[in-house]
Amino acid sequence: MAPRTRKPERRTEALSRERIIEAAVELLDTAGEGGLTFRALTERLSTGAGAIYWHVANKDELLDAATDAVVTDALALKPARVPGSPQDRIRAVALGLFDAIDAHPWLAAQLATQLSRGPSKSVTPRILESIGQQVRALGVPESRWFTATTVLMHYILGAAGQNAVNGRAHGPGVNRGEFFNAVSAAWKQLDPDDYPFTRAIVDQMRDHDDRAEFLAGIALILAGITAGRSRTP
């Protein structure tokens, strides 16, 4: 009697755009933008390329969709539902994006790309709205809404992105404390006449907490915004 060959298992889960985007995020997290290919997706999803192209036209669309999905999750807690003041809600938005960028190494570059090349896409208005509604609630004059909101947005994305880069630039097995000890030792060797300020902040740099410094920056910006509420441009 001839041995029976095992038939390949049929997928019980219908392939959807949402599942494709979820798999794309997983690939981006583990392999980076270079590892996100349609071939890798077909292997992860156990499907054919045609099934994926039915939902997503190309890699650029896939990257945009993955970026939008992660940002949407980061901002899932609507600022209006956060208890406290508009300042508290802005901090909640900032920390949501900070944590998302820290968790997804590829996100900072994609956000920068969308802000510069695709501001009409959904991500930029989504972030602007989350921050801008709270800027308005602070009582900022309408003529200052754009400036105040974009300053906050660029600080949040820039500082969070730099933090994420710093966290991975040390290399595997390098302790954060050891890294900053080495940097502080190098700064202390700088010429005191040429670099008096840099030498003066060595201890602050070495002992700083990334999250606390990030929130301190938010507080500085908010202090400037609230101090200038009644001023004309």
What is the per-residue pLDDT across 149-202, written as a single tens digit (0 to 9) for each? 999 999 999 999 988 877 665 555 567 778 888 889 999 999 999 999 999 999
Other C-beta atoms lying within 10 Å of the C-beta of residue 74: 22
Burial of 5 (0-12, 13-18, 19+ CB in 10 A): exposed
What pLDDT is stored for residue 164 in this prediction? 82
- Closest Cα to residue 33, out of 113, 88, 90? 113
Task: For domain 14-57, give the CATH number.
Answer: 1.10.10.60
Rounded Cα distance, 41 and 17, in Å = 12
pTM as predicted: 0.83
**What is the per-residue pLDDT across 3-35, written as a single tens digit (0 to 9) for each?**
444 443 334 356 899 999 999 999 999 999 899
Q: Would you identify the CATH topology of the domain 76-227?
A: Tetracycline Repressor; domain 2 (1.10.357)
Q: How confident is the model over 38-89, as pLDDT tens digits?
A: 999 999 999 888 888 899 999 999 999 999 999 999 998 665 566 789 999 9
Residues 39, 65: contact at Cβ < 8 Å? no
Give the model's pLDDT for residue 50: 87
| 232 band by pLDDT with thresholds 50, 70 and 90 | low
Query: Residues of CATH 1.10.10.60 domain(s) within the chain?
Result: 14-57
Q: Which segments of the chain belong to CATH 1.10.357.10? A: 76-227
Q: Are 64 and 199 in contact (CB under 8 A)?
A: no
Per-residue tokens: 171: 């290399």
For 51, the 3-state DSSP assignment is helix
Q: What pLDDT score does 11 carry?
A: 44
Q: Which of 91, 99, 98, 95 is nearest to 138 (CA)?
A: 91
Among 132, 134, 114, 131, residue whose Cα is nearest residue 123? 114
Q: What are phi and psi of 37, to 5 degrees?
A: -125, 160
